[in-house]
Amino acid sequence: MSIVKPKPGSLLYFFKKRQALTWISSWVVISFGLFFFMFSYKGDHGLGDSARIPIGHHREIHQIDLLSYVKPKNNGAIYIYEFIITDDYVYGKLDKYNIELNQNYFVYDLKSNAIQLFDQATSFKYFLTSKNLDQESPYQTFDDHYNRYWNGWRFWLLP
């Protein structure tokens, strides 16, 4: 049953007469669209034991085997524990697995892809104040941010 009766020779008439072809071609287009979305910056959530969250400026936070980390240009992988994500910064507490680092806090500048490390809470809070960043919100783990980002409509696009 259709609301509009298609005229012979029209595209709608063509697809109405060939319903199997319409279903198969629709399935192919949707499947390829979801496949390419899955490997895009906004659609890639990680494979296997790894997970990732896109955080803006084409940067991401990775997690593998319960270790969350970022990869700034001025350092190797920096393991992070609890953090806050804003439009231009990610900041919070460093993980204990950063054995070679004596610092406890970090600020990851997404625009410049650089990270600053702080050993004392006072210098860290002073930096946050100078950049007008929120100091009252609680820091959250990777799992909390992951669940919030990939919840809702994005959940239905996961493979």
- 102: Cβ contacts below 8 Å, ≥ 6 apart: 119
**Residue 59 binned pLDDT confidence (cut-offs 50, 70, 90):** very high
Q: Which residue has the higher pLDDT, 4 or 86?
A: 86
Residue 43, phi then psi, degrees to nearest 5: -105, -15
**Residue 10 binned pLDDT confidence (cut-offs 50, 70, 90):** confident
Residue 108 to residue 89: CA distance in whole angstroms: 6
pLDDT of residue 155: 67
* Per-residue pLDDT tens over the stretch 98-157: 878 889 999 999 999 999 999 999 999 999 999 999 999 999 999 999 888 888 766 666
**Angle at 60 (CA atoms; ends 54, 61), nearest 5 degrees:** 110
* Mean pLDDT across 82-90: 95
pLDDT of residue 99: 74
